[in-house]
Chains A and B, each alone.
Chain A
Amino acid sequence: AQKVTQAQTEISVVEKEDVTLDCVYETRDTTYYLFWYKQPPSGELVFLIRRNSFDEQNEISGRYSWNFQKSTSSFNFTITASQVVDSAVYFCALSEPGRGADGLTFGKGTHLIIQP
């Protein structure tokens, strides 16, 4: 079974629209971390946010916001008033450090296309 599921393979919206990228995760650990990364065409993975399992507060950073709900094992990412520069592949990832190694398990990514 996939540990991190990003069901949306590709999303295309027009600039200035709001868009939400879904992420559902699976873990048996009580302590875990969730991440979002952005991967532009250049290939580098750019860190966006890290959230630990004990902090369910939603977070807002400029046009970006994240909604963490343990009850549904989801960690969704919303971009408000999207811009062309937001076009990229976005990855959700899970870290489970309880076993001594905390390497990330990534979802398959959502390709976001913002059309001008």
Chain B
Amino acid sequence: EAGVAQSPRYKIIEKRQSVAFWCNPISGHATLYWYQQILGQGPKLLIQFQNNGVVDDSQLPKDRFSAERLKGVDSTLKIQPAKLEDSAVYLCASSLDRTGNTIYFGEGSWLTVV
């Protein structure tokens, strides 16, 4: 069974530029998450989707971050404009549904903002 796929794996941009990350969850998984992991810290939830609807975006910095999952499968996370403090690994994860099932993570997209 294929795991959670993410791209790109690595991205370096200058501050104030924009960047987009793509995620394809495990087939059949209705719930999709985006996490931000800053070096030396645990991952922090940014947004959770159930199919194509948002169920939790309380920690998403909405002035610069946006995410969508239009057809309830793939998702895109965008940062515009990027700040130095956005340098982190962006992890996508998925689970069958939002009732405490096991959450599986992708390899992450490493962002460096210079």
Contacts and interface: CB of A to CB of B under 8 A. Distances in A.
A64 B111 CA distance: 33
B108 A50 contact: no
Interface in A1-41: 4, 31-33, 35, 37
A91 to B, nearest CB: 5
A100 interface: yes
Given A43-B108, A91-B42, A101 B103 contact: no
B56 A101 contact: yes
Interface stretch (B43-51, B62-70, B72-80): B43-51
A106 B44 contact: yes
Contacts, number: 68
B33 interface: yes
**Residue of B33, B41, B103, B106 ringed by the most chain A CB atoms within 10 A:** B103
Contacts of B105: 37, 44-47
Interface of A: 4, 31-33, 35, 37, 42-47, 50, 52, 91, 93, 95, 97, 100-109
Task: List the 8 shortest-distance A-B pairs measured between CB atoms, nearest first.
Answer: A106-B42, A101-B56, A103-B45, A45-B105, A33-B100, A101-B55, A44-B107, A97-B100
30 contacts: A33-B100, A35-B102, A37-B105, A43-B89, A43-B108, A43-B110, A45-B105, A47-B102, A47-B103, A47-B104, A50-B100, A50-B102, A97-B98, A97-B99, A100-B55, A101-B48, A101-B55, A101-B56, A101-B98, A102-B31, A102-B95, A102-B100, A103-B45, A103-B48, A104-B33, A105-B45, A106-B43, A108-B42, A109-B41, A109-B42
